Structure 1
Amino acid sequence: MDNNGDCKRSLPKLREIFTRQRQDSDAMSGESTSPWLGGEASMADCPDIEFNYDDADLQENEMAELYSYTEGPEFQLNLKAWEEVCAELGVVPLWQSATDASRRSLIVRLSDHLELCHRSPRMRAARAILYIAQGCWGEVQSDREQAMWARRNVFLLVQCGVWASFLQLLHLEIENVGTESQRKQAVSASLADSADLRVILSVLYTIVETLRVLGDDDNEVQTQIRLAFCEELAQPQAEAEELVAMTLLGMVTRFCNSSAPHFPIRKVLLLLWKVLLCSLGGTQVLAQLKNTYRENHGLPPCGEDTLTIARTMRASSPPASAADLIEQQNNQKRRPFRRGLMKQSSLDDSVGELDLTAAADEDEQPPTDMDEPPDLPQPPSPRPGTPINNNSTNKGLPWTPKVRQKDIDSFLDSTRVKFVGFQLQGDRTSLAGLPQPIHEGVKVLSKDSSPGLPGMCNRRPPEMTAEALEAGTGSPRGGSLSPGGSGGSPSGGEGNMQMVSGTCCWRNMFSCINLLRILNKLCKWKHSRIMMLVVFKSAPILKRTLKVKHAMMQLYVLKLLKMQTKYLGRQWRKTNMKTMSAIYQKVRHRLNDDWAYGNDPDARPWDFQAEECALRACVDRFNSRRYNNTVQDPDFEPLDNCVTSVLGRPVELTEEFKRHYEVWLQQEVFSASIDWDQLLASSN
């Protein structure tokens, strides 16, 4: 309060103090005050992030992503190794001027050097092959020419069997870190310790990334080579008869448990990502396979694709911060109250995102001489005309509502108990004794009910369900968790450091959306895991993430918030009505899901731990059955039905049987009459 007893001037001062404390806390926590990351700037002025979520970036950017800035000098090492090997073999180190036969001969001779026992000449040949895979950039004049030669050389390398040779080198390098002394030395690993592995992984990555994408100038032979390579990549390879993806996952495991800290994990993850994309396919292949499997099970094709619809959405304005709320309250107290008529719009994207800036500016404009005094009578306002029907914009919700069969069964059980007095277990068609509104409700629920492929999986045994849960996180984007650094391309490009709208990196947006998608997969319909989100206070973090104005990213954030709203309390829902409106607009509705009011019959806190333990028991039982040599349960022991292996199995005879062997032979064999012809005759 000031000297005049006025306390209104303290509100701006309070807001300044709060803003300064907020900025200090953000600076101490390493956060930026940029509007993209939750700063105090006006979020309404920030444009939408122009980011197209896809399986991968442009091919030239993905190739540049393989190399970091610290690997720049190694390009010259590759060129030097190429010149030394050519001098040793008596070949002129000019790739473009050589004939196709001489190029094949040189690649074959370099492949022979890969089998040398000495590491130095072996890795020198590997670097020379890497130089060839990079397009022999020392002889080109432009990036386009380098990309053209790189693609041509990769096809030639695959035809000469270089892929199999480098897979053997990869297994050899993995086995070389097996001893205890080498593991102790690898604890203090440096960049030089992973030089050989980085060369091998770079060649493998270049081959996979080049053959993964269809080229514009590919001929029929190259197309056949590319398709055969993708099919071969999905089969066990090398002497270990192991999938390439499993080998790379094993490298990730060894890196995580510190048994091989010198592994270049960034290159491993990038290669794993592209191997999965090449062997399993991307999002388009996934959508086609989903519709194919639905057709095989007698289900209609999926008409709504999440990624396709999310690309057509518009990003919502982020929720206001505490400082903005204080300022808004202050402005409301200063300006006079004014009420106007407003036509309520339909459920389009603009609901809940009203821009009050124009109204505030209008209220704060000073009166001019042309303004009429308020005493004079005002003419009646004209009657508004009929609004024009705009068919170009979608005025409805983006998703068709759904309902689970479990919810329909629960609805029928509760209504039967209420109106009839008993339940009919397993009966989903009989509606006798129920009033007509219940008939209509069941009809609506059944229309929006679709079992889907997950419903088919739920009818399988628990072990198969556990298998699906175990493989649920293995998406074609497994390598998206790689760090966001990038390096220069062999021809001197800048890599994929292009910024989205000038402030955001492609890789960071890609990783954040993937993490949100994985979190949704892990928590959907799992009450115990949703409670973990509530316990660890994920709602403020997710709400802060809504400041990123990207529709797809906001969609998956709102899905996670929708799961928690019933547990966050009435006060949270009351103070976050803008977030609740965004959830209503953008997230699919479940007809029986009372998410906005907190009336959840399945929310039983005492069952959360039991549910998670039962799920873990199913997964452990499946893993022990499939991957453990020691079978604990004899019922799960596989039965050998092969006659040859059963008769050839050694049998330990007891001493008593050996003493009375002749008696057993006389009673069981010689005394019994066996018609061998009838036994061996084929049954009709």
Structure 2
Amino acid sequence: MDSGPELCESSLAQRRAAQLPKLRELMRRPKPDSVDVTDGNGSDPDLDFVYADCDVLSAELSELYTYSELDDFALNAQAFKKYAEKRKMRPLWATLCPDHQKTIALDLIETLEAVQPERRLDTLRIVLYLLQGAFLDFSGGGDKDQCLEASAHNAFFLYEAGMLQALCTSLMVEIGNLSKEDDMARRDSGNDSAAALNRRRKSATLADNQPLRLILSALYHLIEPMRRTDLRLPAEKKENYDRLRKEFFMELGQPIFASSEPLTVVLFQMMTSFCSGSNPHFPMKKVLLLLWKTLLAWLGGWEDLRRMKDDKRKAAGLPSCEDTLTIAKTMKPAPAPHIPSLGGGQGGDPDGGSAMPSGRRRGRPPLARRQMACVSSDGAKSPDDDDDEPQGLPDAIDDADDEVMIDVSSGGKTDTPSDTSTVSPLDDNGNNDGSGSAGDGASSRRPDSPAPQSVPRPPEPPTAPPLLPKTLPWKPKVRENEIEQFLEHERAKFFDYQLPGDAQTVFGLPQPIHQSVAALRKHVYISMTEQQIKTEERLSKYCFSLKETEIEETPAEILYRHLLPNIPQYMIALLKIMLAAAPSSKAKSEAINILSDVLTPETDSAQILTASGSSYSLDASSTPANILEQSVRVGIDVNRHKEIVVKAASSILLLLLKHFRLNHVYQFEYLGQHLVFANCIPLILKFFDQKIAQYIQSKNDLNPWNFPQAVLHYAKNESWPELSLENLELSDTQAGGYYVWRNLFSAINLLRILNKLTKWKHARTMMLVVFKSAPILKRSLRVKQALFQLYCLKLLKMQAKYLGRQWRKSNMEIMSSIYSKVRHRLNDDWAYGNETQSKPWDFQNEESALKFAVERFNARRYGDMIQSTSSAEGLASWNFNDPEFQPYDNNIVSVLGAHYELTDRFKVNYEKWLEREVFRANVDWDQLLALNKGIANQ
């Protein structure tokens, strides 16, 4: 009867001893902490990720193209060669003199207006070839940096020649041509319109949108280098390039010649047309990337937003505030939370069994509980722990965590990961000192034995920055209304009286209350949002006597006016595209097909849509080389394509929310409401309800086929790089610090969007609770990147009071991370309040009031542009811009002092007007004086 436990402990010791060689090998690597993020048997490393507007230029340009478009590079070069032969010149662009280059550029612009589609297509290929850096110039040698510099130089050169408007005009022409073809196909399809639509959706391939892809790629190559200020350009041309860049930014906000809308609005209209099924051939990835970079160039990036926010606060007489992105760079990631195993055990045994007796676990001291991640104080599981682990997710509980607990209970040190090992002691470099043997394994040292003295706690390097700041990273904030609420509560408590609207009087209150009020006033923060709301309330209350000051014509204001009539359709289209690109989305017949610029006419779209892309058959003995290469390429290309679509769509949404929030809070709220109504919150949660750590590490790139490496290889060898196993299985993907920049960037963007939509909105916070976002966000904390974790902790903080006391008790490590990393509101009881009985409909009045305020704002400021849909208090028929409702200036001083512009015709005929209107007019002066005297006497 006693052999069972002995056998169990022996098998556990054998398993741990079997891992000893792997552990020793791991510790001897150059980076001791380099462990796979998805591995539950080690300490997750910190990700060395720098959050910025976008990635480096080479990565951004390479993501524009799919691997299916590899042959288009060669076609572009061949088109330029034919053009050079026709003009009897060398096919080397860099060898031409500037005047000759300008003549060619003007000729290309003129040819873009040709009637023949073939001539326009060849001209577009030549333009794109030049914007790609004229890579045939590097056939004799050159690296990718030189090619990128040539691409940027050609972009400035062609823009100065007038290429931007020529490409925009060609874009409108090709959109019209595709729309006509789709209309004809729709009429020919007969009565079965649904079946015809599905057929057209499935048949959308690269062959259907060649001119459109070339135009969008050329515009992207024109915009992306010109908007960047970090390019290495000749010093003698810097002044000219700065001038061209300013002109370029101004031109992006102007309507294009072939339309009354700017380029940004045209791209939004392409999205809605694509999602409605009218134009399923549009290459959506290129549209989204071009839209993102156009917004980034016109509106500005994160650094521009910070500068504009500081300027607006300074103009309003408010102090500058802390920048989240700047402070997050100095923060250290929190430890990964404890995730229970699938079998329900608390240990790391893959079979679900406990790694040690449960009684020993319950008996550990409180210090051990602070070191463990998200372990219940009484050994019980949290009520939501059953949902913490999706199917197939590997165990996150490792044997090392159990040994941390044992060492703490015996007085050992647990401050460094090296103390968690159960094998013979290893120094900081991973070397074994020989004090233990591999055969004994973890069972060679008893739990009650003292900690080994040969491994002292490693001192902190003197040159390294402190791991944790001595103070909290954020200054607390308090609102004015929170001080008023605090005083009202204290007055009711001590004297049972109220002074509504009074936040100053503290007479009769005890001295500690005075000190509390002084502490609150010390941290009062007045936001631009509060000032804008107060101003809007005054304008709405006194709509006949007050008039809004002149509205600043910022790029965000101009864009909002253009987007306002169709914002709901634009947001729905953007979320539909994100849904189709979600990593967990399955192939559905009714889903939109976003792979029109990935699939070739020879590829079966149904097979591609169902391909997982995560595993490939690489048995070369049974698979022909060309089929192997095509299957691997298409599978990787589809996954890469979806990742880029998510990256671009999330960046567009975040840019719009941030800039509209800075411009006016109700513009931001209007956009946010339509995102919420279109189910943006559950869509984002669906994105994170996956193995997010594996998604961030997913390798779906073939570097030899990326731009500009591929075109440089073609220029030197006249062939494309060959695909091999080394291109798929790169060694850096196995490193713990490895990540894919675009995937981590997309994840942070989605977290920021979710935070923007739910912050200070109780009804939307309850949506997070109803959709069970807490386990999802808890799993996401395994990604050890400070900014990523910061927004996860913010989302957990805002819903902590709704999750109940038991959840907070079971997740004390998360609560501690929230306290140390998230800004505090001094009157916010997020850590102690309990509102477990609240329901989503309890806060619907707040949403209704916000919706009414937003519609009233739009009706007042943009009443002549939209037809309000609200019927509350007759707002739908209320036009605040009606001249009858405008304030009337009856001050004689301002009227006589007003300056009027007289027309040339009036100046010429002034004497005739004076003779007819003044000299010949009969005025009864006596009656006039009598009337004036009567008015004066009154």
1:79 aligns with 2:94: no
Residue 116 of structure 1 corresponds to: 114
Residue 822 of structure 2 corresponds to: 587
Aligned with 2:880 (options 636, 641, 644): 636
Q: C-alpha distance in 2, partners of 1:516/1:604?
A: 24
Conserved in 1, the CA contact under 8 Å of 2:801 and 2:833? yes
Residue 197 of structure 1 corresponds to: 212
1:147 aligns with 2:173: no
Q: C-alpha distance in 1, partners of 2:480/2:817?
A: 27
Conserved in 2, the CA contact under 8 Å of 1:36 and 1:548? no
Residue 208 of structure 1 corresponds to: 223
Q: C-alpha distance in 2, partners of 1:331/1:515?
A: 40
Residue 55 of structure 1 corresponds to: 53
Aligned with 1:279 (options 271, 288, 298): 298
Deviation, 1:240, is 2.2
Conserved in 2, the CA contact under 8 Å of 1:186 and 1:260? no
Deviation, 1:104, is 0.7
RMSD of aligned alpha carbons: 4.3
SS in 2 for 1:48: coil
Residue 527 of structure 1 corresponds to: 762
Residue 331 of structure 1 corresponds to: 356
Matches within 5 A, 1:498-537: 503-537=738-772
Alpha-carbon displacement from aligned partner over 1:491-521 (angstroms, at most 9, x marks no partner): 42799x9868564211000000000000000
Moved more, 568-577 or 527-536: 568-577
Moved more, 429-438 or 89-98: 89-98
Q: One-letter code of the match for 1:488?
A: N
Matches within 5 A, 1:410-425: 410-425=485-500
Q: C-alpha distance in 2, partners of 1:257/1:153?
A: 37
SS in 2 for 1:284: helix
- Taking a change above 3 Å as real, the CA distance of residues 355 and 442 of structure 1, as seen in their structure-2 partners, is farther
Aligned with 2:333 (options 315, 338, 341): 315
| Aligned residue pairs, count | 598
Q: C-alpha distance in 1, partners of 2:699/2:857?
A: 36
1:235 aligns with 2:260: no
Matches within 5 A, 1:645-684: none
Q: One-letter code of the match for 1:443?
A: A
TM-score by length of 2: 0.57
Deviation, 1:234, is 3.3
Q: C-alpha distance in 2, partners of 1:121/1:523?
A: 52
Q: C-alpha distance in 2, partners of 1:428/1:602?
A: 31
Q: C-alpha distance in 1, partners of 2:779/2:368?
A: 31
- Taking a change above 3 Å as real, the CA distance of residues 65 and 121 of structure 1, as seen in their structure-2 partners, is same
Residue 670 of structure 2 corresponds to: 470
- The share of aligned pairs that are identical, in percent, is 38
Residue 707 of structure 2 corresponds to: 489
- Taking a change above 3 Å as real, the CA distance of residues 161 and 473 of structure 1, as seen in their structure-2 partners, is farther
SS in 2 for 1:260: coil
Q: C-alpha distance in 2, partners of 1:8/1:255?
A: 66
Q: C-alpha distance in 1, partners of 2:9/2:880?
A: 72
Residue 607 of structure 1 corresponds to: 842
Q: C-alpha distance in 2, partners of 1:620/1:515?
A: 27
1:569 aligns with 2:804: yes
Alpha-carbon displacement from aligned partner over 1:325-383 (angstroms, at most 9, x marks no partner): 622865365879998998999xxxxxx9x977456469678999xxxxxxxxxxxxxxx
Residue 161 of structure 1 corresponds to: 162
TM-score by length of 1: 0.77
1:398 aligns with 2:473: yes
- Taking a change above 3 Å as real, the CA distance of residues 523 and 151 of structure 1, as seen in their structure-2 partners, is same
Q: C-alpha distance in 2, partners of 1:513/1:596?
A: 25
Matches within 5 A, 1:224-263: 224-263=243-282
Q: C-alpha distance in 1, partners of 2:753/2:798?
A: 15
Deviation, 1:126, is 0.8
Residue 433 of structure 1 corresponds to: 508
Deviation, 1:452, is 1.7
Residue 181 of structure 1 corresponds to: 184
Matches within 5 A, 1:454-469: 454-461=529-536, 465-469=665-669
Deviation, 1:673, is 7.2
Residue 662 of structure 1 corresponds to: none
Deviation, 1:579, is 1.3
Aligned with 1:407 (options 463, 482, 497): 482
Q: Structure 2: which 5+ runs fail to align?
A: 13-33, 187-196, 349-353, 371-376, 378-399, 411-421, 425-434, 437-459, 541-663, 676-683, 688-697, 713-720, 722-726, 869-874, 889-920, 929-938
Deviation, 1:161, is 0.3
Q: One-letter code of the match for 1:81?
A: A
- Taking a change above 3 Å as real, the CA distance of residues 473 and 113 of structure 1, as seen in their structure-2 partners, is farther
Deviation, 1:530, is 0.6
Q: C-alpha distance in 2, partners of 1:484/1:268?
A: 24
Deviation, 1:457, is 2.1
Conserved in 1, the CA contact under 8 Å of 2:35 and 2:43? no
Deviation, 1:465, is 4.5
- Taking a change above 3 Å as real, the CA distance of residues 85 and 597 of structure 1, as seen in their structure-2 partners, is same
Deviation, 1:612, is 2.4
- Taking a change above 3 Å as real, the CA distance of residues 594 and 132 of structure 1, as seen in their structure-2 partners, is same
Deviation, 1:592, is 0.9
Q: C-alpha distance in 1, partners of 2:355/2:300?
A: 55
Conserved in 1, the CA contact under 8 Å of 2:529 and 2:665? no
Q: C-alpha distance in 2, partners of 1:579/1:520?
A: 18
SS in 1 for 2:93: coil
Q: C-alpha distance in 1, partners of 2:212/2:699?
A: 21
Residue 290 of structure 1 corresponds to: 309
Alpha-carbon displacement from aligned partner over 1:370-397 (angstroms, at most 9, x marks no partner): xxxxxxxxxxxxxxxxx9x999562221
Conserved in 2, the CA contact under 8 Å of 1:68 and 1:485? no
Deviation, 1:101, is 0.9
Q: C-alpha distance in 1, partners of 2:856/2:267?
A: 25
Alpha-carbon displacement from aligned partner over 1:437-473 (angstroms, at most 9, x marks no partner): 1111111111111112122122132686432323569
- Taking a change above 3 Å as real, the CA distance of residues 484 and 210 of structure 1, as seen in their structure-2 partners, is farther
SS in 1 for 2:133: coil
SS in 2 for 1:331: coil
Alpha-carbon displacement from aligned partner over 1:59-82 (angstroms, at most 9, x marks no partner): 122111211111101001111221
SS in 1 for 2:261: coil
Residue 29 of structure 1 corresponds to: none
Residue 318 of structure 2 corresponds to: 299
Q: C-alpha distance in 2, partners of 1:615/1:74?
A: 51
SS in 1 for 2:114: coil
Q: Structure 1: which 5+ runs fail to align?
A: 15-33, 346-351, 369-386, 643-670, 679-684
